Structure 1
Amino acid sequence: MPIKIVDLFAGPGGLGEGFSALSDGTAFRILISAEMESSAHATLRLRSFFRLVRNDPRALAGYYAFCNGDADLPYSAQSESAWNESGVEARQLTLGNPDHNRELDGVLDDKLRRQDKWVLIGGPPCQAYSLVGRSRNIGTATYRPEDDPRHFLYKEYLRIIRDRRPPVFVMENVKGILSSRVGGKKIFHDILRDLSDPDGAFGETGSRPGYRIHSLVTETCYKSGMEPAAIDPRDFIVRAEDFGIPQARHRVILLGVRTDVAADFTRLSPRPEVHVRDVIRDLPPLRSRLSSGDDSATEWRTTVRSHLFELAEDAKLKGLGRLAARLRQSAEQVRLGLPSGALRCPRQKSSADAPHLADWYLDPNIRYWLNHEARSHMSSDLRRYGYAATYAALHQHSPKGHAEFSLAGLAPNHENWESGKFADRFRVQFYDAPATTVTSHIAKDGHYFIHPDPTQCRSLTVREAARLQTFPDNYFFQGNRTQQYHQVGNAVPPRLAFMIAGIVKEILK
């Protein structure tokens, strides 16, 4: 009998995907997943449908027909019941909304029994805790953390713990939660106290068991009654790159185990480092699009080559001979005829090696690279991207600030460009290292996610970002491209969730 999963604040379903993949999908089964944003919910439901039909060849053919553009819907008359079931599992709910809370409670009343083995997973929205979000809030004169409801969304998660008492829960959030303060107090300390004693968090008393809050990477364990300041909160940070995820993603992950459940388990085991090249090498090269003027392959190539040759001449005049030679080399290698990609980008026969974890990523039934479409860039940004990627390949670090962006036409139009405030404005991902953290900011511009190949002169696509997040290639992100980027950037890497699921299964065995 699969262990039931309740997934709150699910996003596109990265955490649930990892649990659902364990033991070929037989160890865990998602009972309900809740997400408020419409495009993420659409992705979540489509993936729920895929899991429901993956052992039914006729129904699964409809899913592949949809992914391959041969059908407008992922289901047929024969699989419509499974599609309806996916809508029962994956729900668009805004937790904290009384009506939506009642809907969630109704499902749990109907589907969960007190004696069931089940797990609560999820991560409350992180905007209020993230360093970027807090920096933005500081610039708002009227902002008070005490009045920001996002600081307290974890209490919706906590309410389910108090009322339902899952044997195990897994809660994920950004690293900034460790230093975030409300009313002068560290909110992480309150979260530890509340999670370990759910009754006390709501001003109640009782004899029901509480929780031990375990680290997944150290022996650190917080128990009710302890002083939170006595433990190092950094012990709860999971550094994804240490466990074979091709991305330096550092997140706080709390493993809660009910005090009447034994918790003798093996923590996450370090794995060899995986690099960007290892997981995107088989994806076809694309050209960026031109955001203004004639967007054609010929015009794009002419524009990029012109920028790179001009930069090479300026570098030569400034005595930067090696850089000048490398820029000329990049210009000469810019190819004509590169596609710009698409929502469904045709797969061509390729001589490229299969990616690391090919069995995890690849699906031979998908004839397209899904969500592999280059975004449009201004001509001035093409100049910067081509330069930055060339510079990074030569010097093994991204160019920083005005000193390393000193060639003609590279300085952005920022009054404080030379103040150091924008030193990291442009960041190249390196083939031979894990990527930097894929965040939702990738939806706004590509400056932090420049492709390492200067001849493609672009930012990462949604599919490349999804590969870095370890989403399988048959995971089809819905919504417009900006929404797809948001979903990928906000997700938990499914492969990391898969490893955590193994620990949870060990506890509940």
Structure 2
Amino acid sequence: MKYKIVDLFAGPGGLGEGFASYKGDASFEIAVSAEMEESAHRTLTLRSFFRHIKGDQKALAAYYDFCHSAEAPHPGTKIPSAWKDAQAEANKLTLGVPEDNARLDELIVKAGLQEEETVLIGGPPCQAYSLVGRSRNRGKEDYVAEDDHRHFLYREYLRILDTTRPAVFVMENVKGILSSKVNGKLVFHDILRDLAEPGKALGRPDGLRYTIHSLVSPVNFKAGMEPDFIDANAFIIEAEKYGIPQARHRVILLGVREELNYDGRHMLSKSDPLTVDQAIFSLPQLRSRLSTEDTDDHWRFVVQELAKKLQVDAEAKGLDQLALRLRGEAIKLGLTLETGALRYHHAKLPESPSRLVDWVKDERLEVWLNHESRSHMASDLGRYFYAAVFGLLNRRTPKGHLDFPLAGLAPEHKNWESGKFIDRFRVQLHNLPSTTVTSHIAKDGHYFIHPDPSQCRSLTVREAARLQTFPDNYFFQGNRTQQYHQVGNAVPALLANQIAGVVSAVLSQKKQAN
């Protein structure tokens, strides 16, 4: 049975990719997707094109040519019919703007969706709900939560839920949504009530009801229940417990039409955790770039001098174990001189197959996509090298000024020793899942330092994409900052694929009941 997907607030398409790639009792085809940000929309459209040309060798050759060379023509110019289909599917729309809402309604009508064969997915923007966003908002003198339209963008999702009346919906958001308040009331409680009866919430009761299920617990919420008695934490998915190499904790709701009488028996299956090493060690090693005078010789001179000073200071302070490790890792500096645009098979994939490897690899690729190191100030390279060595030695990331005792490591912040910058420089650890990949990775990379000291840099877009389980042939568009934003804001594609499996099981149960 093939089900049509409506994907709202789609970003670069992580949630949609998981559903569209699912192979099981049910299959899913994206009918309409909507994203407001221009570069994410470009990525979304290109990926839609890739799905539309599956099996067409001539069209695939055009896609890979585009991936492999900046001089190759855009594949849409070579295969205009498939590009037209992709553009019809992936739409640049800002939900909440009247004309874009009207356009979305037109597209949904044109798609000819059948209620019982439709699935709605998406994650309304989370800035107003996230703990970081709320902390930032508190610093604004004129900020009023009740006036922040981002708190209510979920109502655009709600409107389409009531319009399409899908058999199932999936809604994703940050964990902070559970504690966010407007007018002194918990936003999440109102969202549960509204999703359970979308028509009633919109002021036009129509009898449509959904039961909201957790994907990891038997907890559910039905119309008429009191949210105060629900364990809201039961709706949090800790991605690292489900084969994702990242400690990403998100609220994901599964809504099922009440008349389907779904009993909540299907949930995500836990699996062994994957580490940063397992996710990114197969990528070619790159050196960092320098903001000025970016040559191999100058880079080698800069980092080796920084490493030598750290080693000497560690010895002077009697930190013998640290000094020894700094010396050992400094020997490797200068051996890794590539900066990007490397052939796909430059390094071996992991020898033991895993679901992640099978999911991400693509033998048709000739170069690594979006895998280029970015420029860093010379003053940061010593901190990156030190943080990575500290991680190897202590099996944790350095926290706060006390873990940066050597000369030259303290940044020029007046309150560096106040405790406010405890996570200012965070190295990802070889033997653990990464910390949450967020859009903040686009800023400076300090929170996403590569665990290998010899590379002396932050993660590339492709490495972040690996942690987010995007296939290696997923080509992110826009400038590098935009690419990082897209990756950081997405749902891990492989987690979405597992959620699609649960949805397939729910829909198969419905079919058997009929």
- 1:26/1:503 CA distance change after superposition, 3 Å: closer
Contact 2:4-2:113 within 8 A present in 1 as well: no
For residues 471 and 349 of structure 1, what CA distance do their matches in structure 2 show?
Answer: 20
1:350 aligns with 2:347: yes
Match of 1:373 in 2: 372
Q: 1:169 to 1:24 in 2, by over 3 A?
A: closer
- Asked if the contact 1:282/1:350 (under 8 Å) is kept, the reply is yes
| 1:322-361 superposed matches below 5 A | 322-336=321-335, 338-341=337-340, 344-351=341-348, 353-354=350-351, 356=354, 357-361=356-360
- Look up the match of 2:35: 35
Going from structure 1 to structure 2, the CA distance change for 1:351 and 1:181 (only over 3 Å counts) comes to: closer
**What secondary structure, in the 3-state scheme, does the structure 2 residue paired with 1:170 have?**
strand
**Does the 8 A contact of 2:5 with 2:120 survive in 1?**
yes
Q: Structure 1 vs Structure 2: percent identity of aligned residues?
A: 59
Structure 2 contact 20–28 (Cα < 8 Å) conserved: yes
Instruction: Please give the per-residue CA displacement for 1:443-465, whole angstroms capped at 9, x wherever unaligned.
Output: 00111100000010000000000
Contact 2:286 2:336 in 1 (8 A): no
1:254: how far off?
0.4
Q: Deviations over 1:344-373 (max 9, x none)?
A: 433354356357432211111110000001
Distance 1:197 1:314 in 2: 65
Flag the 1:469–1:115 CA change in 2: closer, same or farther, 3 A: closer
The yes-or-no answer on 1:125 pairing with 2:125 is yes
Q: 1:231 to 1:480 in 2, by over 3 A?
A: same
Q: Which residue of 2 aligns with 1:109?
A: 109
User: Equivalent residue for 1:318?
Assistant: 317
Give the Cα separation in 1 of the matches to 2:55 and 2:83.
14
1:169: which partner in 2? 169
2:268 is equivalent to residue 247 of structure 1: no
Q: Tell me if structure 1 keeps the 8 A contact 2:178–2:232.
A: yes
Instruction: Name the SS of the counterpart of 1:134 in structure 2.
Output: helix
Residues of 2 paired with 1:266 and 1:151: CA distance? 31
1:436 counterpart SS class = coil
CA positional deviation for 1:232: 1.0
SS at 1:257 equivalent: strand
5 Å-filtered alignment, 1:23-422, equals 23=23, 27-69=27-69, 71-77=72-78, 79-206=79-206, 208-264=207-263, 265-292=265-292, 294-336=293-335, 338-341=337-340, 344-351=341-348, 353-354=350-351, 356=354, 357-422=356-421
Matched residues in 2 for 1:443 and 1:495: separation?
22
AA of the residue aligned to 2:16: G
Task: State the 1:162 CA deviation.
Answer: 1.6
The answer to whether the Cα contact below 8 Å between 2:284 and 2:346 also exists between their aligned partners in 1 is no
Measured at CA, do residues 109 and 352 of structure 1 come closer, stay the same or move farther in structure 2, by a change above 3 Å? closer
Please tell me whether the aligned partners of residues 262 and 507 of structure 1 are also in contact (alpha carbons under 8 angstroms): no
| Offset at residue 35 of structure 1 (A) | 0.2
SS in 1 for 2:4: strand
Q: 1:348/1:23 Cα in 2 relative to 1: closer, same or farther (>3 Å)?
A: closer
User: Does 41-50 or 301-310 show the bigger shift?
Assistant: 301-310
* Partner AA of 1:177 in structure 2: I
Q: TM-score, normalised by structure 2?
A: 0.96
Structure 1: 5+ residue stretches without partners: none
Map of 2:512 onto structure 1: none
Q: Which amino acid aligns with 1:9?
A: F
**Is the 1:215–1:254 Cα contact (8 Å) retained in structure 2?**
yes
Partner Cα distance (2:440, 2:254) in 1: 28
Number of positions where the alignment pairs a residue of Structure 1 with one of Structure 2: 504
Does the residue aligned with 2:159 lie in a helix, a strand or coil?
A: helix
- Partner Cα separation in structure 2 for residue 41 and residue 337 of structure 1: 35
Aligned equivalents of 1:388, 1:256: Cα separation in 2: 43
Q: Is the 8 A contact 2:243 2:272 kept in 1?
A: yes
Amino acid aligned to 1:286: L
Unaligned regions of 5+ residues in structure 2, if any?
509-514
1:502 equivalent to 2:512? Answer: no
Please give the alpha-carbon distance, in whole angstroms, between the structure 1 residues aligned to 2:239 and 2:324.
37
CA shift for structure 1 position 76? 4.5
- C-alpha deviation, 1:114, in angstroms: 4.2
> Deviation at 1:336?
4.0
**Structure 2: which amino acid aligns with 1:153?**
L
TM-score (norm 1): 0.97
Three-state SS of the structure 2 residue aligned to 1:432 is coil
Helix, strand or coil at the partner of 1:6:
strand
1:112 to partner: Cα distance: 2.8
